[in-house]
Structure 1
Amino acid sequence: MLTELSIRNFTIIDEISIQFQEGLTVLTGETGAGKSIIIDAIQLLVGGRGSVEFVRHKTKRADLEGLFIIDDDNHPVFSLAEQYGITLSDGEIVLERTITNKGRSICRINGKLVTLAILREIGSYLVDIHTQHETQSLMDSSYHIELLDYYDYENIKKTKEEYLSLYNQLLKLKKRYRELSENEQKMAHRLDLLQFQYKEIEQAELQPDEDLKLEKEREQLVNIERTYQAITGAYNALYGENKGLDWLHIAQQSLQEASDYDQFIKNKAEVITNTYYTIEEMTYELRQYIDELSFNSDRLNEIEARLDEINRLKKKYGPTVLDILEYMGKVSEEIEQITNKDSHLQQLAYQIDELEKDAYLEAKQLHELRIKAAKALTNDIHQAFEDLYLDHATFHVSFENNHQRTYGKQPSLHENGYDFVRFFISTNPGEPLKELDKIASGGELSRIMLALKGIFAKQEQMTSVIFDEVDTGVSGRVAQAMADKIHHISNDSQVLCITHLPQVAAMADTHLFIEKRKKEGRTVTTVVELTKAEKIEELSRMLTGSELTKTTIQHAAELLELAQARKI
């Protein structure tokens, strides 16, 4: 959910910070007070199109910042953030966007600079904004199949995953088949290249981890002087007159003389004796190592030349010797496939045919599950239509597949099986079914969208849903029905709603009042959270639009009490 929004130098807003709560938050105020400006700010924050017009007059930049808290560890935004190298701590996501008066747009997510495209992609999983004439996913027919699958996710998930696994394998095999089927000249060039690469690696006669061993030996040779000094220093400290071994020998003899009279002394004498012989043996080994130690410039040159050759191969074939050898194996396999192209094509064709049969069976199972889901979805949406007094509206899930598009041939497959799903609606008896973007506008369209959003809000995993005056053009019992539906959506997602309907405002868990004032000769917008008494006054104003009276205040208080009762 969106917990905090900071806006600075944005159109008529000087600087405000708004705390948002869970549930339903309504924003009310006079026309032109700046309610929609706040929604515009959120829309830009999640990747909407910016403009210098948004930068407050006589300022250099507009700054927007929003804090989102994600409680669901399985929310898709986590994997998306990981993909782009964005660190999320405790489910907190901070979106920042700056628009300069020169038209530049600077975007950050949790302090990391990102492109506008990345901001938009992540923002699409956080906020869903709906206006009277605009919606995002519901109007996009290419997204309808995803909505249908989300609707019955538990039943469809496993089959869809199994299908996608088969489909991705099928794509790889078909790609390989196309590559092997390319024209003779191109394949000949490819074979020449592969044979050259194989021969180049083969002639190098690489051994596993050879580079690591050579680098270690080179380090020893380069630092041989330091090694000589270290060993010689240790040897000289231990061996010779009045050196370490001499003093150990003196200590040994001293204790040995009294060892027959005291058990403690006897034990310590044995320890020193053992230590003496151990160190004496070590001095012989140090002496021998010094004698054998020598700087071999020829060997160092050999190592440098060999490492240069290996590094040259690394630049072409892989970061390590093991990677180069692995690449050599793949080259060998591809050479064999090209050389014996016909037999491999025949084998690939068989594998593709068998895999396609399996994928088609999964796609068919997916289609049958979607048919069942479509029936249940249709019933739920018709019930939602009744709740919103759209008794005569009809919803239909249309299935079209490549079988129909190819006139009787077996349907071709795509990432969602072989189905193409579109939602159709008829708003009145006798009228034909139409796609969502072609149905009636105004209050009717608002109710239809609200009904659909009520069904899909939870499935889309949106943290925040925003309604900007979607209740325009309705009144009476329809207004109350829309208020109930909006509050119902807030049970699964945080909802922010700009409204002029008192019925909707009365259902709010949090009521924010937007007001435009003059400050030092300039217009500024302020936002305050209303107390219960202030809510009643605002509802009274919304009911009458004129001066407050005892009667209107009483009606507003009754409306608020009734709304609280409906929420229980």
Structure 2
Amino acid sequence: MLVSLHIKNIAVIDEVFVEFGDGFNALTGETGAGKSILIDSLNMVLGQRTSRDLIRNGTDKAVVEAMFNINDPAVLSYLSEIGVEVDGGNILIYRDLNTDGRATSRINGMMVTAGMVKELSKLIINIHGQQDNQSLLNPSSHTAYLDSFAGITELVCEYKSVYDITKSLEKKLGELNENEREKQRRIELLKYQIDEIEGAHLKLGEEEALSDRREFLSGASKISEALEFSRAILYTNDENVHDMLSRVSASLSGIARYDLELSDFESKITEINFELDDIIHRIHAFADSIDFNPRELDMIEERLDLINSLKRKYGADIGEILKYNEKAKAELETIMQSEELSKKLENELSENLQKQTELSKEITQKRIAAGKLLEEKITFELSDLDMKRVSFQTEIEPCEFCPTGADRVEFLISVNAGEPPKPLSKIASGGEMSRIMLAIKSILADTDNVPTLIFDELDKGVSGRAAQKIAQKINKISSKRQVLCITHLAQIASMADTHFLIEKGMTDSVTQTKVIRLSKDDRVSELARIIGGAKITQLTMDSAKEMLEMAEEYKIAENGKSNQC
């Protein structure tokens, strides 16, 4: 159950702390007092998307804390999965929202994501408002209501997984089979590209080697001429450097004995001559190694032109061209094997469709059985809500496979005896919609373990006897779980076990909303205000007191409990 709610800096609320009771909690107040802000605050702390506009003017952060006490194994198991420790069943959910849009969520002090809180909220609280009435007018929501009642939500999820696989297989098969002409064109293009690349016999590093060789060959003639000239000057001419140095060395050798410096001259010239012999030998060898063929340069230019042409089509370098070739061959192989793949996909699709059909048939059977039981239960509940001549029908018709099965579900109603059932949107008034929704929620409440239900102005469009019946129905629901109900009707508020007044006032010229837990005497005054409006007479007070006493008598007669204020 929801034990308490702490709200700070939300809209017109400065700070409030509310401790809720077991059973039926009613919240009343003037229009605009801030009743909807409590629902907004709950939605915020439960992970719903919240606008920064909700933050109270003049503050930089809004905070909401909700304390629950839960001992449901499913809830405790989920909290354990996300790493949250629970002591004594107490679960404190915290969320703050800053003016810059940043929000922080915590469960029992541990930081969590808003998504985690949303998942938790599904297990611990249900909030129902006028939007639920609107959803009931949309037939597309009826399937979910019926499935929830039938207890086949997991079965429908299993079917949905199979259905998604079917759609995926159909898409892949369609892509393989569509536009045969385009497929043939692609095959021809890939074959041409593969032949062009493989016909070039490319090798990694080839382009760099060819560029270096071209650079060398482009200067081969000049290199050859320079080497030949050098060889002639140094050695082969009649008058050459080598011979001249030899004569110089011989001349110095004849006088070296006369002076040490002359001996050093002769030694140095001899060394130079030896080095010159080595250089002449190397020049000779290099010149002889040059095999210059003008045609080779043309061949290299042609090869580089081919490589550049392939680069423009398939990649920035030979490595990328070769990768493109492998990719093209893989694509070609896939296309060439498409018939085999198509046959494989067809077999998979056939098997999946069979499984999908079996699941959809099982779902349909369970829906039909549940539909009949739901008709009986809702008709009974509506009769209990003073709609005795209403006939409620669950229409289930076959349709094409869709994400929820092969059924189209729609709730039909006849509010007058003898009239054929028609869609809710064409028949039901606002008050009737409120009672139909309450009947559905009352029935569904018996199929789940959510401990807290919140009804936000479920009584819209309702008055008189119908309002009394709704009050009695909420009282019945509250005997099994906690109920919070925001209401404008005295009949409903009088049935509550705990009654809160939401009141807006001025403090230091600042508007503030307060939430006040009412005593029995205060409840009489509040019920009188609801009944009588601006002017409250003694007769109105007496009527309010009588209404409260009658509600207490009814509750004692029904389940032995009385007002706990």
Report the TM-score when normalising by structure 1: 0.61
Q: Which residue of 2 aligns with 1:150?
A: 148
Contact 1:147–1:460 under 8 Å retained in 2: no
Is residue 2:486 matched to residue 1:498?
yes
Letter in 2 for 1:486: I
Q: Which residue of 1 aligns with 2:391?
A: 394
RMSD: 4.1
Deviation at 1:169, TM superposition (A): 6.1
SS in structure 1 opposite 2:395?
Answer: strand
Deviation, structure 1 residue 388: 1.2
Shift in Å, 1:511: 1.7
- Aligned positions of 1:243-322 closer than 5 A: none
- The CA deviation at 1:386 is 0.9
Instruction: Note the alpha carbon deviations across 1:449-492, whole angstroms, 9 max, x for none.
Output: 22222122343554432222222443332222110111223244
Structure 2 counterpart of 1:64, one-letter code: V
The alpha carbon displacement at 1:433 in A equals 5.0
Q: Does the Cα contact within 8 Å between 2:133 and 2:433 map onto a contact in 1?
A: no
Are the counterparts in 1 of residues 467 and 492 from structure 2 also a CA contact under 8 Å?
yes
The number of residue pairs the alignment matches comes to 413
Amino acid in structure 2 at the alignment position of 1:504:
I
Separation (CA, whole Å) in 1 of partners of 2:97 and 2:154: 44
Q: Deviations over 1:110-140 (max 9, x none)?
A: 243535x665565455543333465476455
Per-residue displacement from partner, 1:378-417 (whole Å, max 9, x unpaired)?
1111111111122333323232433xxxxxxxx4x34432
In structure 1, distance between residues paired with 2:459 and 2:479: 19
Are the structure 2 counterparts of residues 558 and 180 from structure 1 closer, same or farther at C-alpha, using a change threshold of 3 Å? same
Cα deviation digits, residues 140-196 of structure 1 (max 9, x gap) = 54342232122122xx57865775675566567556656766875889999x9xxxx
**Conservation of the 8 A alpha-carbon contact between 1:11 and 1:54:** yes
The separation in 1 between residues aligned to 2:121 and 2:189, in whole angstroms, is 46
1:515–1:525 CA contact under 8 A, matched in 2 = yes
The CA distance in 1 between the partners of 2:85 and 2:163, in whole Å, is 32
In the alignment, does 2:510 pair up with 1:522?
A: yes
Give the conservation status (yes or no) of the 8 Å contact 1:129–1:135.
Answer: no
Matches of 1:123 and 1:189, distance apart in 2? 57
2:86 is equivalent to residue 89 of structure 1: yes
Report the residue type matching 1:142 in the other structure: S
Which of 528, 531, 554 does residue 563 from structure 1 map onto? 554
Map of 1:115-514 to 2, 5 A cutoff? 123=121, 126-132=124-130, 134-135=132-133, 138-139=136-137, 141-153=139-151, 156=152, 163=159, 167=163, 170=166, 174=170, 177=173, 340-402=337-399, 411=400, 413-428=401-416, 433=421, 435-436=423-424, 439-459=427-447, 461-514=449-502
Residue 59 of structure 2: aligned partner: 59
Q: Which amino acid aligns with 2:384?
A: D
1:428 deviates by: 4.2
The answer (yes or no) to whether the contact 2:95–2:105 under 8 Å persists in 1 is: yes
Which structure 1 segments of 5+ residues have no match? 193-333, 403-410
Radius of gyration: which is bigger? 2
Compute the displacement of 1:78 (Å): 6.0
Judged with a 3 Å threshold, the aligned counterparts in structure 2 of structure 1 residues 170 and 66 are, in CA distance, closer, same or farther, namely: same
Query: Could you tell which deviates more after superposition, 450-459 or 338-347?
Result: 338-347
Shift in alpha-carbon separation, 1:125–1:439, aligned structure 2, 3 A: farther
Structure 2 distance, partners of 1:162, 1:118, is: 23
1:159–1:366: 8 Å Cα contact kept in structure 2? yes
In 2, the alpha carbon distance for the partners of 1:547 and 1:449 equals: 36
TM-score by length of 2: 0.61
1:427–1:127 CA distance, 2 compared to 1 (3 A) = farther
SS in 1 for 2:57: coil
1:26 to partner: Cα distance: 0.6
Equivalents in 2 of 1:101, 1:335: separation in Å?
57
| Counterpart residue number, 1:24 | 24
Can you give the 5+ residue segments of structure 2 that lack an aligned partner in the other structure? Answer: 194-330, 560-565
The percent of aligned pairs where both chains have the same amino acid is 37
Tell me if 1:42 matches 2:33: no
Q: 2-side partners of 1:468 and 1:357: how far apart?
A: 45
Distance in 2 separating the partners of 1:53 and 1:166: 43
SS of alignment partner, residue 474 of structure 1: coil
Paired position in structure 1 for 2:324: none
User: What does the per-residue CA deviation read over 1:428-456, in whole Å, with 9 as the maximum and x for residues that have no partner?
Assistant: 45777554456544323222222222122
Quote how far apart the aligned CAs of 1:374 are. 0.7
Q: Secondary structure at the match of 2:73?
A: coil
Q: Deviations over 1:170-228 (max 9, x none)?
A: 567556656766875889999x9xxxxxxxxxxxxxxxxxxxxxxxxxxxxxxxxxxxx
Instruction: Give 2:263's aligned residue.
Output: none
State the alpha-carbon separation in 2 of the partners of residues 8 and 158 from structure 1.
39
Instruction: Give, in angstroms, the shift of residue 543 of structure 1.
Output: 4.3
1:4 is the counterpart of 2:1:
no
1:72 aligned partner: 72
Deviation at 1:347, TM superposition (A): 3.8
